[in-house]
């Protein structure tokens, strides 16, 4: 037996007991004739005392322990004279009578403390040491608690967790698949699922009624800062439901999770915002509603006064930053530089201050009368002390997105994006399609199985670009944590959808024949939703990146630097798969 | 709103309520002026009544419904005159006042009944229809309940569920990996994990203390009847434990599951049987202990009497089938044919009946005196009416395995393998290594991370083949449901193990360097276990195959016949991966 207790559980009531603890050496200090050892495990830290007067040999042994040695200690629990109120075990210490080194440790490449001196690369290479740090470990504990709560909640609502296969067929529509060559079927490949979308729809056809799965999904995409090639979804689907049923159930789950995991009670129903409003007022389909600062369109007010930039613009709009009129010229220049960064791409920024006397002082005063500026002030409901920031451009949607970035930046600067405050909403009524410049055709905004709004179905023939979908996203603090839709359950409507998306009937049959066939045998109306677990955990944990809520994440090149994967294969393995490498350089020569 | 209630929940107390139900048409019957519709969903069946006198048009509509149509019905709950005690809803029926067809259905290719007329291939192609059948759906419900209970149990014991990556590095040791070409790292491949073995050990190094995961694992092996290329493991690992700690915790979990899922109370501790005893008495490392019929070795008793088959044998052993002395010549011939099948490979079988008067009548009477046969009878403790069956051979281990098959066959024939009876045991003290004829070297019997028994460590240098391991398997009814071991946590011992297994230090470093490096930074003593979820669910469900407890299984060629996966890729996908097909036929020409 290695231990009677963990390093986190002894209290004053245990004083007098003989205990055995095992754990890692956090710290060893000599003070007077005593040696103090902080012994650490997942559950906490317990202080161990070695007395040079009582047992000099044992004390000497303790003095030679290095950081991160694994040791086993037996001793008596005693009340501390100097208690440590910061530790749950801080009322007691263990008077050691034996000490055994279970394993030595080399000096770790970075400190195992809440604030480590290890850089990102080092921490990832030695991730097993990084995970010993409290903040990282706590993220994984939170992730565990979250999935437990999700399962409890969905189980209580009659959902069945059903595993769908990981080795499926490749569907070139959408993002790129990771593929898996089949040795038993040479020349053939499985694909790893980007989501279990079609399989969960089949489960609805099979009458499973309420399905969920916490499941790994895969996308072979170029990785942006906060994407991983493998990620985890809370994937759900329900039969005999309308949008309202799905939204209300999953809003209930969100409230449950906020309460259980963060102790936050979210009152009242979440805001429902049509996608068109989200774009109009926030320039984003995932607006951060922790703060207001809504867009105000200024085309009517500011056009036609000789300021060419505005006169030629397809969109002029601004935001009002409460109390920021005291921004210095330097701060305003920083903001201008911010919006002109290539990632954002605005041409410039106009600003206007509301002075203490109510008058408006702007960077374009020479074009506008005070009367016009006052009209603008009223449009914002701006007050003395407020700062108005205006962008314009020849593409309304692009300019709105630039203004969105500016709004978020001002939110940051004004401290309006508190990580401990949560603003949840549903964005609804998404467009069914979006135009792809690259492909020169309409693409499904969510996916080809999304049900159009009943009242918009006639427009599928006449004006598909205007058709809205029964699709909804849950957004928290500007992060899309989940989304879903009511699905098509009619094989004819599904065929029409593939047609609009440019599939020939043969291609549609080849790729999704199994689903369209299934729909011929009594598919129920159904819909669902998928949450991104990684994003949601990092939101709860207050992290900026999803990486630190994943035990073994990959870097931006899709590499696991600890495992050194991916790596070249043995020739034998390639031969068995009947594959050859065909490097592009070689092909060209 | 599609329904106020499910098809499984209305009771007599609901009589008088107006309800709306949605579901599938199980059956439509006309009787007198009435039409009865059995409406089915996951939760049950409710009878709907249409009265031709009250609403002829509605009744006519109902008469035209086909099997598996999806319909919505509104009506009044009424007490049935002829109650159906076999249905939980059998006390009521719905007097319909409206009927809506939500989706039609073509005639399904097989009947959606408990006993279907669909063959295996058809059922798999239309698996979404097969899953509508009660027995198949119940297996998935059981699987869901099982994973919920496992998680609840392990959570209550302080285990954290931690997701390990699916895209890892390839480890050519052991079974074949499925590999995944990386587009971002051309020429490099990930592998799908055969198990998270090394990653969970790293989690122990990271101080997670108690880890579990219900996780998909992958093996690219030629598939036997009851294997799947992807399968699900309940994977567990604990720190600061000895074998006893692991066994007692997971025995507790097994008992909990038996109680919750099958209502079976397993009393007392499970039998612990050393591997050597399991082989000696049952010829198997997973003995079915639902019945006794232990092997008795007969070398001392039957050798040296001129019967050449026995005289030249390296092993002679038999079993005693209680009460089977009345087996006919034909039955005995069948048994002889059974053991001579190529899959079993025995040369022949000797039998002996114990007559009512206690005398023994054998098939080799001309070589043995009644005195010798009586000695043999005593060795078995055989009684009048018993049948003794004996095999021999020149390879003791092979002959024991043949005798094991005969024992199981006799167990089947005598009805001793009741699916509702459960015999659990731990097989312990496995050999560390087994000799591979193919590779002409010692291979790890479990895996290279298994800890040898402390007392056997000195033999690693002198007689490695005799070294036993701290390894254990849980066996239920002759099925290995799980197994594990205490792991090596010392990098030097691990290095020695790789040496014995024929790894050069470079090769060991290349493949397992990350683990051996991790061991240098304070690895705790640890051990764990993995259960095969598929096997365990099928055991609880009383299934002969794991296939029917998997929603979308693959066939013996690793194909999903519903999805038609795997399949050839588009050339564009191959180009992006910088791969070329290299069919073996082409290479030869």
Give residue A172's pLDDT.
66
- How is residue B347 written in tokens? 């040369």
**Size of chain A, expressed as the number of residues it contains:** 589
Confidence of residue A589 (pLDDT cuts 50, 70, 90): very low
Place of tokens 């939110």: A411
How distant is the alpha carbon of residue B416 from its chain centre? 20
Confidence of residue B158 (pLDDT cuts 50, 70, 90): very high
pLDDT at A92 over 90: yes
When pLDDT is averaged across residues B547-557 and rounded to a whole number, the result is: 93
CA A79 to CA A15: how far, in whole Å? 6
CA A570 to CA A550: how far, in whole Å? 30
B189 contacts A102? CB cut-off 8 A: no
Place of tokens 């201050």: A353
- What region does A78 belong to: left with phi over 0, alpha with psi -120 to 50, or beta? beta
> Which chain B residue's Cα is nearest to A526?
B2
Beta strands in A240-386 (DSSP E): 271-274, 296-297, 315-321, 350-354, 360-362
B564 contacts A514? CB cut-off 8 A: yes
B550 contacts A179? CB cut-off 8 A: no
- Residue B266's CB: how many other CB atoms inside 10 A? 18
Per-residue CA distances from A358 to A302, A364, A367, A381, B477 (Å): 19, 17, 19, 12, 86
When pLDDT is averaged across residues B143-162 and rounded to a whole number, the result is: 98
CB A246, CB B193: distance < 8 Å: no
Confidence of residue A120 (pLDDT cuts 50, 70, 90): confident
A–B: how many Cβ contacts below 8 A? 370
| Closest CA–CA distance from residue B511 to any residue of chain A (Å) | 9
- Mark out the alpha helices in A263-395 (DSSP H runs): 275-282, 299-302, 308-311, 329-340, 370-380
CA A579 to CA B51: how far, in whole Å? 67
CA B378 to CA B360: how far, in whole Å? 11
Nearest to B287 by CA among B310, B245, B322, B319: B319
The DSSP bridge pattern shows strands B387-393 and B433-436 to be: unpaired
CB A530, CB A195: distance < 8 Å: yes
When pLDDT is averaged across residues B172-198 and rounded to a whole number, the result is: 90
Report chain A residues whose CB lies below 8 A from the CB of B569: 170, 179, 189
Confidence of residue B589 (pLDDT cuts 50, 70, 90): very low
When pLDDT is averaged across residues A493-522 and rounded to a whole number, the result is: 91
Q: What is the pTM of this model?
A: 0.95
| Closest CA–CA distance from residue B129 to any residue of chain A (Å) | 6
- Mark out the alpha helices in A428-504 (DSSP H runs): 459-462, 491-500
pLDDT at B257 over 50: yes
* B148: nearest CB among A155, A519, A578: A155
Nearest to B5 by CA among B82, B86, B83, B94: B94
CB A430, CB A285: distance < 8 Å: yes
pLDDT over 70 percentage in chain B: 98
pLDDT digits (tens, 9 = 90+) for A372-420: 999 999 999 999 999 999 999 999 999 999 999 999 999 999 999 999 9
A207 contacts B524? CB cut-off 8 A: no
A218 contacts B183? CB cut-off 8 A: no
When pLDDT is averaged across residues B506-511 and rounded to a whole number, the result is: 87
When pLDDT is averaged across residues A153-182 and rounded to a whole number, the result is: 92
B522 contacts A165? CB cut-off 8 A: no
> Which chain A residue's Cα is nearest to B521?
A105
CB B459, CB B466: distance < 8 Å: yes
* B570: nearest CB among A131, A172, A558: A172
Place of tokens 């991983």: A228
The CATH T-level fold of domain A138-272+424-549 is BirA Bifunctional Protein; domain 2 (3.30.930)
When pLDDT is averaged across residues A152-163 and rounded to a whole number, the result is: 98
| Closest CA–CA distance from residue B285 to any residue of chain A (Å) | 28
CA A390 to CA A350: how far, in whole Å? 5
Give the burial string for A407-429 (b: 16+ CB within 10 Å, else e). bbbbbebeebbeeeebbbbbbbb
pLDDT at A153 over 60: yes
| Closest CA–CA distance from residue A139 to any residue of chain B (Å) | 11
Confidence of residue A440 (pLDDT cuts 50, 70, 90): confident
**Burial (CB count within 10 angstroms: exposed 0-12, middle 13-18, buried 19+), residue B53:** exposed
DSSP reduced 3-state for A412: helix
B40 contacts A206? CB cut-off 8 A: no
pLDDT digits (tens, 9 = 90+) for A347-361: 999 999 999 999 999
Give residue A580's pLDDT.
92
- Residue B332's CB: how many other CB atoms inside 10 A? 17
Report chain A residues whose CB lies below 8 A from the CB of B205: 128-129
- The domain segmentation of chain B, as residue ranges, is 12-103, 138-272+424-549, 291-413
- Residue A187's CB: how many other CB atoms inside 10 A? 16
What backbone torsions phi and psi does residue A481 show, to the nearest 5 degrees?
Answer: -90, -20
B68 contacts A103? CB cut-off 8 A: no
CA B473 to CA A17: how far, in whole Å? 36
> Which chain A residue's Cα is nearest to B243?
A1
Confidence of residue A221 (pLDDT cuts 50, 70, 90): confident
CB A471, CB A450: distance < 8 Å: yes
- Residue A485's CB: how many other CB atoms inside 10 A? 24
CB B578, CB B186: distance < 8 Å: yes
Interface with chain B: mutation pick from A68, A191, A521, highest number of B CBs within 10 Å: A521
Q: Which CATH architecture has domain B12-103?
A: Beta Barrel (2.40)
Interface with chain B: mutation pick from A28, A167, A177, highest number of B CBs within 10 Å: A167
The DSSP bridge pattern shows strands B315-321 and B350-354 to be: unpaired
DSSP reduced 3-state for B17: coil
| Closest CA–CA distance from residue A490 to any residue of chain B (Å) | 7
A2 contacts B525? CB cut-off 8 A: yes
B185 contacts A180? CB cut-off 8 A: no
Question: CA angle, B273 as apex, B270 and B278 as ends, to 5°?
Answer: 130
Place of tokens 């000797």: B350
CA B99 to CA B103: how far, in whole Å? 12
Report chain A residues whose CB lies below 8 A from the CB of B130: 206
DSSP reduced 3-state for A34: strand
CA A520 to CA A491: how far, in whole Å? 7
> Which chain A residue's Cα is nearest to B4?
A240
* B163: nearest CB among A24, A68, A551: A551
When pLDDT is averaged across residues B259-269 and rounded to a whole number, the result is: 95
Interface with chain B: mutation pick from A45, A102, A163, highest number of B CBs within 10 Å: A163
> Which chain B residue's Cα is nearest to A241?
B2
B148 contacts A206? CB cut-off 8 A: no
Report chain B residues whose CB lies below 8 A from the CB of A562: 202, 514
Give residue B52's pLDDT.
93
> Which chain B residue's Cα is nearest to A242?
B1
B564 contacts A2? CB cut-off 8 A: no
What's the Rg (C-alpha) of chain A?
30
Report chain A residues whose CB lies below 8 A from the CB of B575: 582
Interface with chain B: mutation pick from A132, A173, A565, highest number of B CBs within 10 Å: A565
pLDDT at A133 over 90: yes
Confidence of residue B436 (pLDDT cuts 50, 70, 90): confident
Sign of the torsion formed by the C-alpha atoms of A66, A67, A72 and A76: positive
Q: B197-205 and B505-518 are packed helices; what angle lies between their axes, rounded to 10 degrees?
A: 40
Confidence of residue A511 (pLDDT cuts 50, 70, 90): confident
Report chain B residues whose CB lies below 8 A from the CB of A206: 127-132, 137
Report chain A residues whose CB lies below 8 A from the CB of B494: none
Interface with chain A: mutation pick from B69, B132, B154, B551, highest number of A CBs within 10 Å: B551
A206 contacts B127? CB cut-off 8 A: yes
Give residue B442's pLDDT.
87
Give residue B507's pLDDT.
87
CB B175, CB B489: distance < 8 Å: no
The CATH T-level fold of domain B291-413 is Gyrase A; domain 2 (3.30.1360)
CB A439, CB A251: distance < 8 Å: no
CA B426 to CA B274: how far, in whole Å? 8
- How is residue B408 written in tokens? 């199981």
DSSP reduced 3-state for B373: helix
Give residue A403's pLDDT.
98
- How is residue B46 written in tokens? 């409710």
CB A433, CB A502: distance < 8 Å: no
Report the mean per-residue pLDDT for chain B: 94
């Amino acid at each position: 037996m290695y231990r009677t207790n963990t390093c986190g559980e002894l209290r004053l009531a245990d004083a007098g007991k003989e205990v055995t603890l095992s754990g890692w050496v956090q710290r060893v200090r000599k003070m007077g004739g005593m040696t103090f050892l902080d012994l650490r495990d997942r559950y906490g830290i317990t202080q161990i005392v070695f007395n040079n007067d009582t047992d000099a040999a044992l004390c000497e042994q303790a003095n030679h322990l290095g950081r991160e040695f694994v040791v086993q200690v037996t001793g008596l629990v005693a009340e501390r004279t100097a208690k440590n109120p910061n530790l749950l075990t801080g009322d007691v210490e263990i008077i050691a009578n034996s000490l055994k080194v279970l394993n030595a440790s080399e000096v770790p490449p970075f400190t195992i403390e809440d604030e480590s001196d290890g850089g990102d690369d080092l921490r990832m290479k030695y991730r097993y040491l990084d995970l010993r740090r409290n903040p990282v470990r706590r993220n994984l504990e939170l992730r565990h608690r979250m999935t437990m709560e999700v399962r409890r909640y969905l189980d209580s609502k009659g959902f069945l967790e059903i595993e769908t296969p990981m080795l499926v067929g490749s569907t070139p529509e959408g993002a790129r698949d990771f593929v898996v060559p089949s040795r038993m079927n040479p020349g053939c490949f499985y694909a790893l699922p980007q989501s279990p979308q079609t399989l969960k729809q089949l489960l609805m056809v099979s009458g499973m009624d309420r399905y969920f799965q916490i499941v790994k999904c895969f996308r072979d995409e170029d990785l942006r800062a906060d994407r991983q090639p493998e990620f985890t979804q809370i994937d759900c689907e329900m039969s005999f439901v309308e949008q309202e049923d799905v939204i209300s159930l999953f809003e209930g789950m969100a409230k449950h999770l906020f309460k259980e995991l963060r102790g936050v009670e979210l009152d009242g129903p979440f805001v429902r915002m049509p996608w068109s409003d989200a774009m109009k007022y926030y320039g984003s389909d995932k607006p951060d509603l922790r703060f207001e600062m809504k867009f105000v369109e200024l085309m009517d007010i500011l056009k036609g006064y000789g300021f060419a930039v505005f006169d030629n613009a397809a969109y002029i709009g601004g935001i009002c930053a409460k109390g920021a009129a005291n921004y210095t010229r330097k701060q305003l220049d920083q903001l201008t530089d911010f919006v002109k960064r290539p990632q954002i791409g605005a041409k410039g920024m106009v600003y206007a201050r509301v002075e203490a006397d109510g008058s408006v002082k702007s960077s374009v005063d020479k074009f506008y009368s005070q009367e016009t500026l006052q009209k603008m002030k009223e449009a914002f409901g701006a007050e003395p002390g407020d700062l108005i920031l205006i962008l314009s451009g020849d593409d309304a949607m692009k300019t709105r997105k630039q203004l969105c970035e500016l709004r978020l930046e001002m939110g940051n600067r004004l401290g309006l994006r508190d990580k401990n405050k949560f603003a949840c909403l549903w964005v609804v009524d998404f467009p069914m399609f979006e135009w792809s410049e690259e492909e020169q055709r309409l693409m499904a905004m969510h996916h080809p199985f999304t049900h159009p709004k009943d009242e918009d179905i006639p427009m599928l023939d006449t004006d598909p670009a205007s058709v809205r979908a029964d699709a909804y996203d849950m957004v928290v603090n500007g992060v899309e944590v989940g989304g879903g839709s009511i699905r098509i359950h009619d094989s004819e409507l599904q065929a029409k959808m593939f047609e609009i998306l440019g599939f020939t009937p043969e291609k549609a049959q080849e790729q999704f024949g199994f689903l369209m066939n299934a729909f011929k045998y009594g598919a129920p109306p159904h819909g669902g939703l998928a949450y991104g677990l990684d994003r949601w955990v990092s939101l709860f944990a207050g992290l900026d990146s999803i990486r630190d809520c994943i035990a073994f994440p990959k870097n931006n090149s899709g590499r696991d630097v600890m495992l050194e994967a991916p790596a070249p294969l043995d020739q034998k393995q390639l031969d068995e798969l009947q594959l050859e490498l065909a490097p592009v350089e070689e092909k060209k020569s």
